[in-house]
Amino acid sequence: MRAEVRVLGIVQGVGFRPFIYRLATELKLKGYVRNRGDAGVEIVVEGDEDSVRSFIRRIEADKPPAAQISRLDAKLMEDKGGFEEFKILKSTEERGDAGSIIPPDMSVCENCLKEFFNPSNRRYRYYFITCTDCGPRYTIIERLPYDRPNTTMRGFPLCPQCLKEYTSPEDRRFHAQTVACPTCGPKAFLADRNGVEISCGDPFLEAGKLLAEGFILAIKGIGGFHIATSTVNPEPVRKLRKAKYREQKPFAIMARSLEAARTFAQVSSLEEKLLTSPERPIVLLKKSGEYYLAEEISPGLHNIGVMLPYTGLHYLLFEGARDEPALVMTSGNLPAEPIISDNKEAVEKLSGFVDYFLFHERRIAQPCDDSVVKSVDGKPVFIRRSRGYAPAPIKISDRLKRVAVAYGAEENVTACIAFNGKAFLSQYVGEVEKVEGVAYLERTVRRLLALTGVKPEVLACDLHPRFNSTLLARKHA
């Protein structure tokens, strides 16, 4: 029997092809699997009838944890022959039905962390350690299908050891597009406020020490820059507050661990689940009676926004900042402007108040701010839905029969594309009062349209005729 299968949903960048390969091999089926240009997956298998039917059932039942299947079409027919084995074929740019999307970025997984902290592992302390189950996705994709040449990892050819892992079906990094190591992956370096590289043995340890000493650093992560400093020294926090024109608005912080967070904040079971989830959002926590961090972080408030490390880079910073229970980690931007993701722009705009920069070589295709979540009556409520969640869709009423694009208003903007009972929300865009914000919103809308593969039929905007988001919608109309 032969089965021709199309799968839609979040099925690229989540280890889906390796899963299909292993499942087909286990059931002794022949054929192929490949990614498509519409973010879906195409599968053809041939074998005995029981095995083919079992294969189709198990696609849904045994799919990878991060995969989401919104639609599975399977056509059964007689064998056509011509297959000698099962293979992962080169991706095709063909597009069909819309509805699939690239997954959000995911925090580094437990398996990778075990290697990261293991001195005998070749990825020991490698800040960009990832596998098929974790790491950046949305922030590195430039075009579909999701293959390394279509991401910002294309400039880093695999070394022989990484290539062996990439091509070994039994390996956790089989067809992992973000695979890299200290030999072949992006390099990181410390720079002064003028962007000039500083020679030092370990840029992360040195950066951590500088943070603990009260300096302000701009740190390039996976979705953009954070501006970081000490949480126990009030002076740099005051300086940062003045530089960002934020007299009262609280700063988010990153705790070194869940245990460290409990020393200054109350953490419920739901909040613990959110803090340690693969999405790793900022969670608003109540300050504990023993709160001892600088009051300037969240002045006059009973709560504080806390997140945990979500890349190897963050764990290395805390190695250098040994006595810091947490670090201020606020968005790297100027007032009313989007988060900065480019090294050169960071120096141009932040050097007036940043003492040092921690750069890396990988470009960020899609800037993405941190998500913010709050527990309300035992349920999570989004304050900001961004990294870790965008651009995954949410279900809505299917009464909307046309493809609609929503542009937001003037502040706290998020773009949205809705069709077929789903709303694909962009990352947090922020304010669009300035030209930088408008350009960011326009890029975000165009990228979301390219990733979903749809053509807009309805453009929704605010009724205010002079909002820049309204003017942008009229321009696109």
Domains of the chain: 2-88 (3.30.70.100), 101-185 (3.90.870.30), 188-360 (3.90.870.10), 391-476 (3.30.420.360)
At 358 the pLDDT is 99
Which pair of structure tokens corresponds to residue 218? 């701009």
Residue 136: closest CA among 278, 253, 306, 255 = 278
At 101 the pLDDT is 87
At 245 the pLDDT is 82
Residue 308, burial from CB neighbour count under 10 angstroms (0-12, 13-18, 19+):
buried
- Judge whether 461 and 473 are in contact, CB under 8 Å: yes
pLDDT tens digits, residue range 7-36? Answer: 999 999 999 999 999 999 999 999 999 999
At 91 the pLDDT is 93
At 246 the pLDDT is 82
- Judge whether 7 and 84 are in contact, CB under 8 Å: no
DSSP 8-state class, residue 117: T
Q: What is the mean pLDDT of each run of 10 residues along the chain (477 residues)?
A: 95 95 97 94 96 97 93 93 92 80 95 98 98 96 94 98 95 96 98 96 96 98 98 95 87 98 98 98 97 95 98 97 96 95 98 97 98 97 97 90 95 95 96 97 96 94 96 95
At 93 the pLDDT is 87
At 94 the pLDDT is 84
pLDDT tens digits, residue range 381-434? Answer: 999 999 999 999 999 988 888 999 999 999 999 999 999 899 999 999 999 999
- Judge whether 215 and 275 are in contact, CB under 8 Å: no
Peptide bond into 391 cis (omega under 30): yes
- Judge whether 364 and 223 are in contact, CB under 8 Å: yes
Residue 266: closest CA among 238, 286, 245 = 286
pLDDT tens digits, residue range 60-76? Answer: 999 999 999 999 999 99
